[in-house]
Amino acid sequence: MPATIPDKPGLEGLEATWSKRWDADGTYRFDRTQPREGVFSIDTPPPTVSGSLHVGSACSYTHTDTVARYQRMAGKAVFYPMGWDDNGLPTERRVQNYFGVRCDPTLPYEGTFEVPERAGRLPSGHRAVPISRRMFLELCERLVAEDEVKFEELWRALGLSVDWSHTYTTIGEGARRTSQRAFLRNLARGEAYQADAPTLWDVDDQTAIAQAEMEDKETPGAYHRLAFHRSDGSADVHIETTRPELLAACVALVAHPEDDRYKPLFGQSVRTPLYDVEVPVVAHRLADPEKGSGIAMICTFGDTTDVTWWRELQLPTRAIIGHDGRIKAAPPEWMNSPQALAHYAEIAGKNVKQAQTRVVEQLAASGEMLGEPRAITHPVKFYERGKRPLEIVASRQWYIRNGGRDQDRRDAFLRRGTELNWIPPYMKTRYDTWVEGLTGDWLISRQRYFGVPIPVWYRVDADGVVDHDARIVPDESTLPVDPSAEPAPGFDETQRGQANGFVGDSDVMDTWATSSLTPLIACAWEDDHDLFARTYPMDMRPQAYEIIRTWLFSTVVRSHYETDALPWKHAAISGWVLDPDRKKMSKSKGNVVGPMDWIEKYGADSLRYWAASARPGTDTAFEEAQLKIGRKLAIKILNVTKFVLGLVDDEATGTLEPGGRPDAEFAALDLSLLSQLASVIDEATAAFEALDYARALERTEAFFWRFCDDYVELVKTRAYSGETFDRWSATSTLQLALHNLQRMFAPFVCYATEEAWSWWQDGSVHGAAWPSRSAFAAAAGAGDPLVLDVAAEVLAEVRKAKSEKKLSLNTPVARVAVRDTPDRLGALAEATDDVCAAGKIDVLVTEAADEFSVTATIDTDA
RNA sequence: GGGCGCUUAGCUCAGUUGGUUAGAGCACCUCCCUUACAAGGAGGGGGUCGGGCGUUCGAGUCGCCCAGCGCCCACCA
């Protein structure tokens, strides 16, 4: 036995000592000799590498870790890799701010970049330095590498039992290869396609975005009532719009087919204010007679309804907003009057807000706006990370079919959702409503840089025009490729952009197009068939609910296509961590204390304890008080271990292997404890099997305090000074309970349990077998749980009597009378000596009664 | 507009198929240095289980209705 037990056990330094040891011993190494049924594989969310992790991440990753540790102890080879999601826009934005640069793909590679001295806090007014694409990518790589080191340090300190030899990054070679391979296969099967179509567009980042990244924000706006003129000169038609600046992009007016007010106008045309452009009046069921004046103008494109109308009514395209979010400079060819062009010239080059101001002034001057604008607040579509509303522009983009335009596929994905085990079950609703509400396919191309390149080139024809239908794709064996930096197969670099040459697709995939492949990346799909066969489909996907529509759904889509299977069996959905004031935690608020600060202050076990108290799927408020409780628990585990092990003197040692003696020799109170212990093991095991770590913790914890407060106190005297036989029963039971409790707490308080375990056991507690009642089944079966319950209740009453008389618990009691039902008195009789010893009771008498009561006569002579 | 979740002690939450006086921790109050633990321990006060109706011998637990909070989805001119 190892075992030097410190005089004053504490938590300080346990993280450093044990995480180092675990690393050296390979405690969490994945045993890849196990067949699939002996493996538990976890598709860990790769955290976004964007500066720092907050306490919410620490919380949900701990949830997963408790399950991983349970499964490992239950005998599974746990496949628990960790990834870093470093590609994509968040990193680009950080690099832009941190280094004060912007990517200009037309520039040549500089070779070096000098980091500004005050990096990260550039003076306001500083203008971003344009740098080449390659340099920009190098800076991205540099920054994420620094962050990933910090992230790993935190996860290790937190005690995540990750196998650190299995890590990946979403910009890494393996992820790029997997992303491109899957994309090429999607393309070959027709699941990926390119189309020139109206697209949600973020004007600040100048990239297309997907439906899943879009969100509504309540935004101030105003109704403007505008007059359209009838060609016969009769009364004007009034429409209401919140976007008068799009008047120049108007292609029609629309009203409901049954709206009698406008029926006579259908098929006729009207002329727009300011620009005098003739537009038809059309009918469509989506026009709401109740809204505004009941007739609306259709612009290309003001919102997604415009897109629907434009498509279904086959209207022309009159786009006036450029990719930079400004009104296009070129005069629209659909306007011909000098006056119209003059009006337009005044807004050309302005952003939409400036343009709106000017258009309103023009309308006021021309008398074509009725009354003042009417202020309202309405939902407007934003990119979830964006500051300005989305625009809709037509552009050529890549899509993956996700059921948004195809009922059969949609049904297939809904069925997949049904096959998945959702924890908690009601989270499936989010998946269903999202899939049912899809309005188009999944847009995966982004006009950005730090991402996985679309692995496609295009031929340039003899006239120097790019032919997007003449695609050139690489052989899978050459992946990953970068079409912007490498020539197309069969060409050389000098032919780039030349007639009869090629161009590379300059887009990258959205980060979700890679993240959706994490099970395939982690399990080394097509790269390591042996590993893949042992780990895929995976067992568990832990994630938060807000990315069900993105990460979870897109992963189901990709796995369905590549493996015709669900990527995992269970989806364990976690909630949010909220501030103590119930507001969603966010870094922007400042003053956020990071997980590492909490670990340093209270210990990793305390943070893990708090995290594991949050039930699956529910939001939790962060509470410092909870950390203190966890700390108390961890210290208690150390102290009670020290106490129990201290009882075992030389004479007793050696014979006291837990459960090593015939059950009949145990005292009734001890059997009673073992019977309760067995029940708790059953409950905790069942809870863990259902991935309900919080319940497992709660049951274990409740039993542990009952063990410390009541059982240990009751048998203390006997364990010190009882007859050999009675002593043995007590110390043996104490050790048996401890042996089980340490293992049951190991998934939660991984450091303190390891420390306590090391005082008397060989090996790591994290490699020990998960407790089972079968190890002491006969003893547990022989025990009556009532004995401990009644004994503890009587002891509590005696303590209460002393407490109310303000006496020390040490004070002797001359006589205690217990009135209770016969069966309970019978149970008490089995433990009378222990109760008397623990309560310092001279005489204990009992009397049958209907109700429980205790009278204690305190001996005040002392 | 449709849907999901929540509502139990001052606070944070348990309460698994309906079953004896509704639990825990924190906070608060009182007491105690008792041979593991004073960065401890032992006790105490505190709840008409959001409201209403119903099913039942019996409802915090099941059904319906209502309210408040949070969230998701929606074609939001």
Is A331:A318 a contact under the CB 8 Å cutoff?
no
Peptide bond just before A6 cis, omega within 30 deg: no
Number of other CB atoms surrounding residue A715 within 10 Å = 28
Strand partners, A377: A220
- C-alpha distance from residue A236 to each of A239, A269, A274, A287 (Å): 10, 12, 14, 19
> Integer distance in angstroms from CA A431 to C1' B73?
10
> Integer distance in angstroms from CA A305 to C1' B27?
54
Report which of residues 704-733 in chain A place their beta carbon less than 7 angstroms from any atom of strand B.
Answer: 705, 708-709, 712-713, 716-717, 720
Asked whether residue A527's C-beta has any atom of DNA/RNA strand B within 7 A, the reply is no
Asked whether residue A428's C-beta has any atom of DNA/RNA strand B within 7 A, the reply is no
> Integer distance in angstroms from CA A429 to C1' B54?
29
List the one residue out of A543, A204, A218 whose CA is nearest residue A383. Answer: A204
CA within 13 Å, CB half, A209: 26
Asked whether residue A288's C-beta has any atom of DNA/RNA strand B within 7 A, the reply is yes
Alpha helices (runs of H) in A304-452, residue ranges in sequence order: 304-312, 338-347, 352-366, 407-419, 428-436
Number of other CB atoms surrounding residue A141 within 10 Å = 15
d(CA A186, CA A189): 5
Alpha helices (runs of H) in A479-585, residue ranges in sequence order: 511-515, 518-522, 529-535, 553-563
Is A54:A597 a contact under the CB 8 Å cutoff?
no
Residue with tokens 């039992």, as numbered in its chain: A161
Report which of residues 376-415 in chain A place their beta carbon less than 7 angstroms from any atom of strand B.
Answer: 378-379, 381
Q: Measuring from the CA of residue A646 to each C1', which nucleotide is nearest?
A: B36
Asked whether residue A547's C-beta has any atom of DNA/RNA strand B within 7 A, the reply is no
SS3 A271: strand
Q: What digits encode the pLDDT tens for the residues A338-375?
A: 999 999 999 999 999 999 999 999 999 999 999 999 98
What is the 3-state secondary structure of A707-740? HHHHHHHHHHHHHHHCCHHHHHHHHHHHHHHHHH
Asked whether residue A862's C-beta has any atom of DNA/RNA strand B within 7 A, the reply is no
Which strand (E) or helix (H) includes residue A678? helix A668-689
Q: Which residues of chain A have pLDDT under 50?
A: 1-2, 587-591, 650-656, 658-659, 862
d(CA A189, CA A508): 20
d(CA A673, CA A789): 9
Residue with tokens 């009541």, as numbered in its chain: A710
Residue with tokens 């499936």, as numbered in its chain: A428
Can you tell me which residue has its alpha carbon closest to the C1' of nucleotide B6? Answer: A618
Residues near A404 by beta carbon (within 8 Å), at least 6 away in sequence? A211, A410, A438, A439, A440, A441, A442
Tokens describing residue A521 = 């990346």
Q: Measuring from the CA of residue A243 to each C1', which nucleotide is nearest?
A: B77
d(CA A147, CA A301): 40
Strand partners, A391: A201
Residue A212 corresponds to which amino acid?
A
Strands (E), A7-68: 39-41
d(CA A441, CA A302): 20
Tell me the percentage of chain A whose pLDDT exceeds 90: 75
DSSP-based helix, strand, coil % in chain A, nearest 5: 45, 20, 35
Q: Which of strand B's nucleotides are less than 7 A from any protein C-beta?
A: 2-5, 12-16, 21, 24-27, 30-37, 39-44, 70-77
What is the 3-state secondary structure of A138-202? HHHHHHHHHHHHHHHHHHHHHCCCCCCCCEEECCCHHHHHHHHHHHHHHHHHCCEEEEEEEEEEE
Which strand (E) or helix (H) includes residue A369? strand A369-383
> Integer distance in angstroms from CA A184 to C1' B59?
59
Q: What angle do CA A315, A319, A324 make, to 5 degrees?
A: 150
- C-alpha distance from residue A548 to each of A83, A346, A428, A673 (Å): 18, 45, 9, 44
Q: Measuring from the CA of residue A239 to each C1', which nucleotide is nearest?
A: B77
Tokens describing residue A682 = 């059953």
Tokens describing residue A651 = 């004479």
List the one residue out of A505, A501, A506, A472 whose CA is nearest residue A489. Answer: A472
> Integer distance in angstroms from CA A287 to C1' B64?
37
- C-alpha distance from residue A63 to each of A158, A387, A544, A659 (Å): 12, 33, 11, 32
Asked whether residue A298's C-beta has any atom of DNA/RNA strand B within 7 A, the reply is no
Asked whether residue A632's C-beta has any atom of DNA/RNA strand B within 7 A, the reply is yes
Asked whether residue A303's C-beta has any atom of DNA/RNA strand B within 7 A, the reply is yes
Tokens describing residue A53 = 């992790």
Cβ neighbourhood burial of A651 (10 Å; 0-12, 13-18, 19+): exposed
Asked whether residue A106's C-beta has any atom of DNA/RNA strand B within 7 A, the reply is no
Number of other CB atoms surrounding residue A9 within 10 Å = 19
Residue A375 corresponds to which amino acid?
A
Q: Measuring from the CA of residue A617 to each C1', which nucleotide is nearest?
A: B5
Strand partners, A568: A538
List the one residue out of A143, A138, A97 whose CA is nearest residue A120. Answer: A97
DSSP A287-298: --TTSTTSEEEE
> Integer distance in angstroms from CA A423 to C1' B64?
28
